[in-house]
Amino acid sequence: MRQLLSVFVALALAVPVAAQQPIIFDVSNVVMGAQRIPTLWLFAEGKWSDAGDHIGPASTQIQCYKSFGFCDVANAFETFGVAGVNLTSFDILRWDNKEIIAVDSSPICIVKTLRADLNTKRITLNSSDKGVTTNPFCKGLDKLPTAVLWGIDDITKDAINRAKSKQQNH
């Protein structure tokens, strides 16, 4: 009985580690541009955990280039039933064997931080307040949650949980 309990506990602890990984997470050596500059490259694809129901599983693509010192994040979104896309560039602050940390400080009110954990293959995006409180557009932006780039398993679990929640509310 104890062995069965130990196995169950081990599996329960292992599941969260395997969860919250993008559909694609690849770090490779590549050659870029007409000058054929070698660089370490990260490519990831998935869906942000805070994206809406109508956003597809491959709605976000991230490409980071170590030699060039930046990451580009292409992100699909929906506003009032209309699809759109934005492209945001992040400056890489650190890229070592464990993680990539990049920031975008161009918004008026917030600094966005992109973090890729190279060991767990988990990517997060969080926003922190710049301290600008006089601008009316900045109200509430200090309370933005941290988003995780999800893969198919996470998207499926979220859809099931939303369906269960709707059933319980009806």
How far is the first Cα of the chain from the last one, in angstroms, to the nearest whole number?
40
The pLDDT of residue 142 is 66
Residue range 72-106, pLDDT digits in tens: 999 999 888 898 999 999 999 999 999 999 999 88
Q: How many whole angstroms separate alpha carbon 102 and alpha carbon 112?
A: 8
Is the confidence at residue 131, as pLDDT, over 80? no
Please report where in the chains the tokens 């050596």 appear, as a residue.
29
Comparing 130 with 124, which gets the higher pLDDT?
A: 124
Q: How confident is the model at residue 19 (pLDDT cuts 50, 70, 90)?
A: low
Q: What pLDDT does residue 4 have? A: 37
> Can you tell me which residue has the tokens 């890229």?
95
Whether the pLDDT of residue 160 is over 60: the answer is yes
How far, in Å, CA of 7 to CA of 13, rounded? 10
In the chain, what percentage of residues exceed pLDDT 90?
Answer: 58
Mean pLDDT of the chain: 85
81's tokens: 């039933």
Please tell me the predicted confidence (pLDDT) of residue 102: 98
Give DSSP secondary structure letters for 78-143: EETTEEEEEEEEEEEEEE-SSEEEEEE--SSSEEEEEEEETTTTEEEEEEEE-S--SSGGGTTGGG
What are the boundaries of each domain within the chain? 21-169
Report, in angstroms and rounded to the nearest whole number, the Rg of the chain calculated over CA atoms.
19
- 38: β partners: 31
Contact residues for 84 (Cβ-Cβ < 8 A; gap 6+)? 76, 77, 78
The predicted model gives 128-151 an average pLDDT of 81
Q: Which two tokens stand for residue 108?
A: 């008026």
* 117 has a pLDDT exceeding 60: yes
Beta bridge partners of 46: 60
| CA pair distance 86, 76, nearest whole angstrom | 7
Which pLDDT score is estimated for 150?
Answer: 95
